[in-house]
Amino acid sequence: MGLFLVVAEYRFTEYFEQQVLRKRPYLSRELCARVVERPIRSEPQEGNRYRFWAEIPELGGRYLRVITLEDKVTIHNAFPDRRFKP
Q: Which residues form the domain of 62? A: 3-80
Mean pLDDT on 1-12: 68
Residue 66 lies in a domain: yes
Residue 41 lies in a domain: yes
The alpha carbon of 56 is separated from its chain's Cα centroid by a whole number of angstroms, namely 11
Q: What is the pLDDT of residues 21-80, one digit of tens each?
A: 999 999 999 999 999 999 999 999 999 999 999 999 999 999 999 999 999 999 999 999
DSSP string for residues in 8-73: HT-EE-HHIIIIIHHH-TT--HHHHHHHHHS-SEEEEETTTEEEEEEEEGGGTTEEEEEEEETTSS
Residue 86 lies in a domain: no
The alpha carbon of 85 is separated from its chain's Cα centroid by a whole number of angstroms, namely 17
